Amino acid sequence: MNILVLSDLHLSNHDHFSAFGWNEDAFLRKLDLICTMYGVEKIVLNGDILELCKYRWHEIIRSNSRILSYFAVNKTVYLRGNHDFRADDSLDHYNIVNSNGQSIHIEHGHKADFFGGTKIGRFLNDALFRGLKFLFGLSPVRVLYFGILHREEGIVGQRKYNSYDYLRYALGLLAQHDVVILGHTHEIEAHQSYRKSKSKLYLNCGTCTFGRFQGIVMDTESLRYELIRIDADQQITDGDKNWLLPERTQIALSNAAG
């Protein structure tokens, strides 16, 4: 089974505080194209899909009805993150065991840090965003906020990202699983390790904020995978000669876990 794992859309009401950066139709066209090209059979939403730290339920649903309907119709697996921790019917994690007995563990990854993994941390995080939203009518606050955020995301300049806590957290999970897929950090990446001479794989599915499309496609039987990185200004079509395998309706996965 080919799965597509996405996280950190941070769906909002598309106001000046929003980090999503897509209109609904453009995002759905890109999503549908990726699903078709890779023969995706299941979508796993790996947390922080809804930006409930900044917006109320009804605002997000009203502003993103087509995206949310698409996910509902396609029976998407929905995992909770630290920004949508209160989302109804969301799961803490999702596990797949293939016919070879190999285990794939998917979770958002916010438990690896204080602000996402503790009640007091989430309370402080919520309070920070509520305060920022109150002050966001002031132009200097908006400029400062997005300036910091763009640097943190690597949109402007080189991102300074300390992955140690998340690598350590993933290695702990890999004691029980063959593949671990996290989100949360907004940094798409892949790391292979070995435990008792057995190959292990940690993947992070990145983010779909600021008009970017990042995610992971994985064949759960072979554990072959592809990191999807599409920049905000990058146009992709199924006939694009730069997209791996032209003249084919599906793209073969190019990386192997083992």
Nearest Cα neighbor of 21 from 153, 124, 180, 126 is 153
Enter the DSSP assignment of 91.
B
pLDDT at 157: 60
Nearest Cα neighbor of 46 from 70, 22, 82, 19 is 82
| pLDDT tens readout for residues 136-152 | 777 887 788 778 777 77
| pLDDT tens readout for residues 198-220 | 899 999 999 999 999 999 999 99
pLDDT at 251: 57
Helix ranges (H only) for the chain are 24-38, 57-63, 65-73, 114-117, 119-135, 139-153, 164-173
Check: CB of residue 4 under 8 Å from CB of residue 215.
yes
Enter the DSSP assignment of 81.
-
> CB-based contacts of 249: which residues, under 8 Å, 6+ apart?
36, 37, 238
Alpha-carbon distance of 47 to 144, in angstroms, equals 26
pLDDT at 248: 36
pLDDT at 243: 41
Pick the CATH number of 2-112+164-230 from 3.30.930.10, 2.40.30.170, 3.60.21.10, 3.40.50.1820: 3.60.21.10
Alpha-carbon distance of 96 to 177, in angstroms, equals 10
What is this structure's pTM?
0.88
Instruction: Average the pLDDT over 21-35 and give the result.
Output: 94
pLDDT at 65: 95
**pLDDT grade for 187, boundaries at 50, 70 and 90:** very high
Of the chain, the percentage scoring pLDDT greater than 90 comes to 60
* pLDDT for 241 beyond 60: no
